[in-house]
Structure 1
Amino acid sequence: MAHLLGAEHIHLEFPTKVVFDDVTIGINEGQRIGIVGRNGDGKSTFLRIISGDLQPDSGKVTVRSGTTIGMLTQRDSLDNHLTLGRAIVGDRAEYEWAGDPRIRDIIAGLVSDLDWDATIGSLSGGQRRRVALAQLLIQDWDILILDEPTNHLDVEGVAWLAAHVNGRWSANAGALVVVTHDRWFLDAVSTDTWEVHDGMIEPFEGGYAAYVLQRVERDRMAAAAEQKRQNLMRKELAWLRRGAPARTSKPKFRIDAANELIANEPPPRDAVALTQMATSRLGKEVVNLVDAGFAVDDREILRDVTWHIAPGERTGILGVNGAGKSTLLRLITGEIAPTSGRVKQGKTVKFATLSQQLHELDEVADDRVREVVSRKSRHTTAAGKELTPSQLLEKLGFAAATLQTPVKDLSGGQKRRLQLLLILLDEPNVLIMDEPTNDLDTDMLAAMEDLLDTWPGTLLVVSHDRYLLERVTDQQYGIFNGEFRHLPGGVDEYLAIRKQIETGGSGGANLNHPTAAASNAGAGASPETAGSASAPKLDGATRRALEKEAQAIERKLGKLRDALASADANLAAADQQDFEALSKLSAERQTIADGIDELEEQWLEIGEQLEQ
């Protein structure tokens, strides 16, 4: 592979810290490099150095002649007076950019929901970020440098960006360098992972899963002080290897070595024990939604939502922005009342919400962390043990020196971790997490997930972080045009349904947008489209019958999952010495599980027919 860029003997230090000390590393054609490391260790600084935006104290960066470099920074430099279209395509004539399928795809993937003629000054911070990314991607670059490109992208946007990056160059052309906390994205696009730590950059071969394995091997050879972090990464590796087939079918590391490392590693969560503890704290009833709906004026946001939330349930909720996720959570907590149907809460339910904002810390902004935590004299339960506030602080990565720091001087990630700590010390039994990954690096995300693995309560998560959803929840639901739907196939199924909705023209597309108009104008001339149009379609009556059957199956699945949760609770509460009773309960549980498997197969078969 041809060499594109090299950093030689880079040294950079700030008044209180050496950021890089004699770093030498190179970027070749065909490399897709994901950069990880703790917040504050220099990831973004390194990107600025290799892009030429920041000069090191010593050392140099060399770039092959003619190599072009494009960079997405975290700074907003867009002109407020430009229109969205002008900011993205500049002065190009419409026929010029609209005739380029790559530019149309970028605009459709990132800004199709925005008004093409809106001024940049009228957009939100997240919308401006997407415009800046689109502006960068429509140009040709030999090296593309992206600093947190997945911020403000939903699950679909992240999946689109991964597909775009993977198809942007041929296998041995171009180079990508990306800093992101989205571990699914890292695994989807990276051929190499570089870890920034302790003034150095350590390269690993492969994506995030490969990096986890190699870091475990490195930690095994480290001193005893590294033992705690080693155990945490071993646990994460075990989950990666036991995870979805899409992840484990393409390991870029030695599978035998991975299997040996996790041979004695238990699953991330003891589901039976957690269900038993959750049931003892919550009872058998948490929240029941029966045909619940919510409408504002003539706009129906949610309709006919039936969901029996069980003790110890861990559920991820997916949906595009504005689909009704926040409305659903507010119905569950009782903040708003349904306009149709009913919502019933259990008598012992105690909610807590980890929101996107940090308002909970405003009133203690001038207090030191030690003072804030000392007011919480309670213990919290995790892994069957009671943990003190100081032990929780340690699990969440707070060093002893941080205890004397005023809350207002903490970094964004530290504030987020303190916010979670204070919530857990209030001992809720239903925890709602709304985009909890903001401001956290990959190490701290792993630490938070480790803590949640042992938290005995009901967990509801709304997040665009696919890795987190698959890691801490056991099932996912999606909201599509006001309907709440179980997703046996997880995030992949959600993306497939969203794609079907988009291509079917029943939601999400902005028909007034120039890209959509151009696509619709060209659709009639496409032989592929013509071919698909001539394929046999289901008649209306058959489609309606299949849809009713699918809905009936979903209702049955909901009841069977409730029964399965009760069976797990009965097993956990049973006398462990009464083998006859245990055998009977286990047989009943297996019958319910078999019924769920059978119904899910029927549901998937109907889904395939409906796609025709």
Structure 2
Amino acid sequence: MPHLLGADRVHLTLGTRTLLDGVSLGVDDGQRIGVVGPNGAGKSTLLRVLSGRQEPDDGRVTRAGGTRVALLDQRDDLGSGTVLDAVHGSADPHEWASDARIRAVHTGLLADVDLEADLSTLSGGQRRRVALAALLVRDDEVLVLDEPTNHLDVEGVAWLAGYLSERYAGSSGALVVVTHDRWFLDAVCTRTWEVHDGVVDQYEGGYAAYVLARAERAQQAATVETKRQNLLRKELAWLRRGAPARTSKPRFRLDAAAALIADEPPPRDSLELARTATARLGKDVLDLEDVTFTLPDGRVLLDDVTWRLGPGDRYGVVGVNGSGKSTLLRLLTGRERPTSGRVRRGKTVKIAELRQDVEDLDEVADLRVTEAVEREKRTMVIGGKEVTASQLVERLGFTRDRARTPVRDLSGGERRRLQLLRLLVGEPNVLLLDEPTNDLDTDTLAAVEDLLDGWPGTLIVVSHDRYLLERVCDRQVALLGDGHLRDLPGGVEQYLELRAAALAGAGGPAPVGAVAGAATAAAASAGPSAADARAARKEATRIERRLDRIAALEAALHDRMAAQATDHAAVLALDTELRALAAEREELEAAWLEAAEVSG
């Protein structure tokens, strides 16, 4: 495969940390590469170096002649102007509306975004999708994406995975992506780079293949280590049998053996937490009974919902953005009150909630990590043994140096880990987790899943991470935007099918905004109704099919014209057909733009 981009003995140090130490690697045409590694290992730095945004201290980055590289970083720097300006610049609408690939990007990322809206009015999630769309509509040979699934719901992640897999199939450019979404890595990537300790290890395959290869390497290393430890044991046994007259030599050898063992590095981010003791749950845990929750603007998030949670129930909650997932958790904890209906909590229930933000750590910002845990509880019992806060912090992957670090200086992933630890030492029996995977690397996620996999209490997880939901939850429920909570026997896959049916107007649940009662009336007075939007989406789909057909017909006509170039009459007739198709195409493109505006 043609070589597009490479790094040759790249070295980069930030402060006292060496992030890249003599790294050499290459990106070839057709490759889809996933980049993983611990938080702070240098994944984003590697992307910036490869894309030319950051110069290495030593070494060089090479590009094949004319290769264009586009980078989506974690900062959505869109500038000013409208959404249309950010995505298409000054391009004429007819230039991009005729491109099926670009129309697919609009449908997948911008369906609920007003193209004429000012960028300053967008939410964080909308800005992220606009920034991503602005790159996907371009024709760069190498696309470099840093956490593209941030702010995308389950549906958006599935669409992006399908789009990138199709676009970069075969020899049509290359993709390099940093993400903590393991399902996405498996669905999209054909190679994996692991960044750690200044180096980049390369693996064939997506996340599952990478985990298997790592396990095999670990097994091989363990075999080598076992042989070395056996030799050490023989050596120490010989030293213990040594005569007293040789005391100086055995002492030297004992010291050497201890140094050899001490030289073995600790396992990287090996998080391990035994099952936390929980308070006993009674028969009644949490019940929502005929609950309705209405926003101040009249939109109904929950409409007469009844949901009963028993001891040991494990639910994953999915839904479109803005459908009320976080509100549902706030109702369960009592931080929100329903507009009508009631929420019942069992007498023995002790709830711990992991929120999306980490602002609750601000009050302990000046404390060290261990002190922040000790403020909650100094000791707890794990596996029948009493464990101090400092020991537990170490078991959760904080090295001794990081355990002494002030909370304010922690990275996003470390703050998230500390947040979860402070919850667990309180020994709750009900865990409510709102997007727990935010800012966590794949190793930490695996450790958190290992903990949750054996959680003996009641567990509710709101997440867009399919891998997490399918691993730790027994059942899934969905908020589809119509105010109802729907059981999903078929899991996330069923949710995606329901959403696809809704968007196609095939009788499935209505999308967000099409809710009953006052919300529908408000929407009707403010703009097109849900029925109008569905009809517009169907019309846009019909137009797209016809535009694809016209493109095929035009290609065939051009071939016939080339074959009959010496037949003047035939060429004229074919040219007339081409002009007719061109006229029809322009009309359809205008109609598609109108339909897209109505559908939102």
Task: Indicate the residue corresponding to 1:304 in structure 2.
Answer: 304
Task: Indicate the residue corresponding to 1:356 in structure 2.
Answer: 356
Moved more, 51-60 or 180-189: 51-60
- Partners of 2:149 and 2:533 lie apart in 1 by 22
C-alpha displacement at 1:68, in angstroms? Answer: 1.7
User: Radius of gyration: which is bigger?
Assistant: 2
Task: Indicate the residue corresponding to 2:245 in structure 1.
Answer: none
Task: Indicate the residue corresponding to 1:483 in structure 2.
Answer: 484
- Partners of 2:511 and 2:394 lie apart in 1 by 46
- Contiguous gaps of at least 5 residues in structure 1: 234-267, 530-612
- Whether contact under 8 Å (2:288, 2:308) holds in the other structure is yes
Moved more, 29-38 or 56-65: 56-65
- Whether contact under 8 Å (1:70, 1:136) holds in the other structure is yes
- Whether contact under 8 Å (2:285, 2:310) holds in the other structure is yes
Task: Indicate the residue corresponding to 1:576 in structure 2.
Answer: none
- Whether contact under 8 Å (1:396, 1:448) holds in the other structure is no
Deviations 1:114-166 (A, max 9, x none): 22211112223332221111001000121111111111111111111101101
- Partners of 1:434 and 1:170 lie apart in 2 by 35
- TM-score norm. by structure 2 comes to 0.75
- TM-score norm. by structure 1 comes to 0.74
Task: Indicate the residue corresponding to 2:372 in structure 1.
Answer: 372
Distance 1:525 1:502, change over 3 A: closer
Deviations 1:375-413 (A, max 9, x none): 343544666766442333123210011122111111111
- Whether contact under 8 Å (2:505, 2:534) holds in the other structure is no
Moved more, 194-203 or 214-223: 214-223
Distance 1:226 1:474, change over 3 A: farther
Task: Indicate the residue corresponding to 1:128 in structure 2.
Answer: 127
Identical aligned pairs, as a percentage? Answer: 55
Task: Indicate the residue corresponding to 2:101 in structure 1.
Answer: 102
- Partners of 1:305 and 1:385 lie apart in 2 by 43
Any idea what SS the aligned residue of 1:59 has? strand
- Partners of 1:172 and 1:115 lie apart in 2 by 34
Moved more, 282-291 or 336-345: 336-345
- Whether contact under 8 Å (2:83, 2:130) holds in the other structure is yes
Counterpart amino acid of residue 127 in structure 1? Q
Counterpart amino acid of residue 419 in structure 1? Q
Any idea what SS the aligned residue of 1:432 has? strand
Task: Indicate the residue corresponding to 1:326 in structure 2.
Answer: 326
Correspondence list, 1:515-534, <5 A: 520-523=538-541
- Whether contact under 8 Å (1:383, 1:455) holds in the other structure is no
- Partners of 2:493 and 2:538 lie apart in 1 by 26
Correspondence list, 1:47-196, <5 A: 47-80=47-80, 82-196=81-195
Moved more, 333-342 or 42-51: 333-342
- Partners of 1:330 and 1:473 lie apart in 2 by 20
C-alpha displacement at 1:181, in angstroms? Answer: 0.8
- Partners of 1:450 and 1:219 lie apart in 2 by 19
* Equivalenced residues, count: 488
- Whether contact under 8 Å (1:477, 1:485) holds in the other structure is yes
- Partners of 1:347 and 1:121 lie apart in 2 by 47
Task: Indicate the residue corresponding to 2:251 in structure 1.
Answer: none
C-alpha displacement at 1:293, in angstroms? Answer: 2.4
C-alpha displacement at 1:445, in angstroms? Answer: 1.1
Task: Indicate the residue corresponding to 1:545 in structure 2.
Answer: none
Task: Indicate the residue corresponding to 1:544 in structure 2.
Answer: none
User: Do structure 1's residue 41 and structure 2's residue 41 form an aligned pair?
Assistant: yes
- Partners of 2:543 and 2:57 lie apart in 1 by 58
Task: Indicate the residue corresponding to 2:439 in structure 1.
Answer: 439
- Whether contact under 8 Å (1:162, 1:188) holds in the other structure is yes
Distance 1:401 1:131, change over 3 A: same
- Contiguous gaps of at least 5 residues in structure 2: 226-263, 514-526, 548-600
Any idea what SS the aligned residue of 1:363 has? helix
Any idea what SS the aligned residue of 1:375 has? helix
- Whether contact under 8 Å (2:394, 2:403) holds in the other structure is no
Any idea what SS the aligned residue of 1:504 has? coil
Distance 1:479 1:515, change over 3 A: closer
User: Do structure 1's residue 284 and structure 2's residue 283 form an aligned pair?
Assistant: yes
Deviations 1:247-284 (A, max 9, x none): xxxxxxxxxxxxxxxxxxxxx999xxx9xx86x71112
Counterpart amino acid of residue 76 in structure 2? D
- Partners of 2:197 and 2:295 lie apart in 1 by 53
Deviations 1:529-565 (A, max 9, x none): 9xxxxxxxxxxxxxxxxxxxxxxxxxxxxxxxxxxxx
Task: Indicate the residue corresponding to 2:30 in structure 1.
Answer: 30
Counterpart amino acid of residue 44 in structure 1? S
Provide the alpha-carbon RMSD of the alignment: 2.9
Any idea what SS the aligned residue of 2:504 has? helix
